[in-house]
A and B are shown apart, each in its own frame.
Chain A
Amino acid sequence: MDYTYPSVYFAYFFFLIVAIGALYFFVKSYRDGYWGDEGEEIKYRIFEEEELGGENGRK
């Protein structure tokens, strides 16, 4: 059996799913404030653990 056409249609279908998913998560990231004025605050969090009790969370 020649799988060429089923595989091509599956590829179109798959890319459609991926595109819809990407669009959904992009819009969600906009709504969650990643592109807003407070979007830069996230980058300071990675320093919090170390300063509040050691890198491992150990005292």
Chain B
Amino acid sequence: MQNESTIAAAEIPVSESAKRTEMIHEDTTAKLFLLSSVTYFFIVGIIALLIAAKFVMPSFLGTIPQLTYGRLRPLHVNGMLFGWLLACDMALMYYVVPRLCGVKLWSEKLGIATGVLWNVIILSAVVSFLMGWNQGWEYAELPLILDVGVVLAWVMFGANVFMTIANRKYQAMYVTLWYAMGTILWTAFVYLTGNFATLFTTGVNQANLNWMYVHNAVGLIFTPVGLAIAYYFIPKASNTPLYSHKLSMIGFWSLAFVYVWTGAHHMLHGPISQWLQTITIVFSVMLLIPVWAAVYNFFATMKGQWHQLRDNVSLKFLMSGVVFYLLTCFQGPMHSLHVVNAIVSKTDWIPGHAHMAVLGAFSFFAIAGTYYALPRLFNTELYSDALANWSFWLLLIGGLGFFVTLWLGGFWQGWQWNNPAIPFIDTVVALQPVWAVRLGSGFLMFGGIVAFGYNVLATVLGAKGSGVEANPAEVAA
């Protein structure tokens, strides 16, 4: 395909070209994080099924303390957020950043140490949650000692990425690097606030800080790193230049400006001041600006290229993720409106919305990045395109069943809660069909995770020795 990128590449001096071909990325850190994250995706997927089953059969697994809902739920949430998604996102950053900078990763040793520490944290978290040791804060359940470990690991990750960028060969930075740096800085701010600042406040202030953390764990951690991945892999997987780099800059700066204020919309109708409620509504609606800037850019990039979706699994995940990103970011601002919030707040609508963001959008981006990067990391071909397609359709159909059911069920639940004539226990009984569909959808999604995990495992085990170059065109498909 002769496009502008080919022309740009051809203009690079031969000496530059020769220097670049001599560079071999070790990628040990990226491999370590990637394989760990996929393993946790599978294990925590089982936990997800168990807690979904408990909604349908409350006495399932009896009264064994380690298998009660209260212990498994934080294990599922933290396992998926930090064991799977953030670790996979970090793996992809370790893969992407050196390539965009035209240099090797600053320190593979530091990266490996970060990976080992990260695994120690996740495994310790599993033990701690099963034993019931947690701080009792949404998304911030990790015991304090593990919080300190996360901060240390993040500093090590940030130092490696920033130093790699500081040593970059090119002065101008592609938007993915902007988002990578933004993620590192914003995560530091959000994580410290949610896990440490909350210890020094009480009452409403504490609740406000916690919700600022919970919402921005998605908005200022998984969103920017997810977009960093999408901005890199959509053009790469489709072999098509991004529609507009300037538009991506508008999206970046507008996201930086509006996101931090939106967390308080979870506290609407609560005992928080009116000015904060008004601010959070205004900024939540303003979220549509960075969202549309990103989504329009991705759609415009795919103009004339949609036929590639037929054979390209990475693109299927990426563009489905973009659609889910648009939908979930339409839900968010609507949820912040008083009239809608009065119905859906605290209902099953919320986990439906959160899963659409974390699984439908950002996990789809991470899976796409994995399918694209894995054969290149291990210098081989993907084990099975058919299995990759199965993983896509199972996750898509299961995900849709989950999101839509909880979205509609949440409205139904909220309407019942707003009717004082209906006893609360009746609303619980009424939701049984919704939770049955939720469990069924969970089985489909878990099937997708198994197909994805097995494909990754088989690809790695079947990896050919170093020096055998895979055909990128075949692997991309």
Binding site for B on A (CB under 8 A): 3-4, 7, 18, 22, 26, 29, 32-35, 39-59
Contact = CB atoms under 8 A, between A and B. Distances in A.
Given A52-B20, A56-B377, A58-B467, 4 more contacts: A35-B249, A43-B235, A43-B242, A46-B176
Contacts of B308: none
Interface of B: 4-6, 8-9, 12, 17, 20-25, 27, 99-100, 102, 170-176, 189, 197, 200-202, 205, 232, 235-236, 239, 241-242, 244-246, 249, 253, 256-257, 376-377, 379, 467, 469, 472
Contacts of A41: 8, 172
Contacts of B12: 48, 52
Q: Binding site of B, secondary structure by majority: helix, strand, loop or mixed?
A: helix
A21 to B, nearest CB: 9
Contacts of A34: 172, 245-246, 249
Contacts of B236: 46-47, 50
Interface centre among A7, A46, A53 (most CB of B within 10 A): A46
A33 B172 CA distance: 8
A47 B6 contact: yes
A22 to B, nearest CB: 6
Interface centre among B4, B176, B189 (most CB of A within 10 A): B4
A39 B8 CA distance: 14
Given A40-B244, A46-B174, A50-B472, A4 B20 contact: no
A39 B102 CA distance: 19
Nearest to B475: A55
A42 B172 contact: yes
A40 B377 CA distance: 29
Nearest to B169: A45
A44 B4 CA distance: 7
B245 A52 contact: no
Contact of A52 (B4, B17, B170): B17
B244 to A, nearest CB: 7
Given A48-B12, A56-B25, A58-B469, A32 B379 contact: no
A53 to B, nearest CB: 3
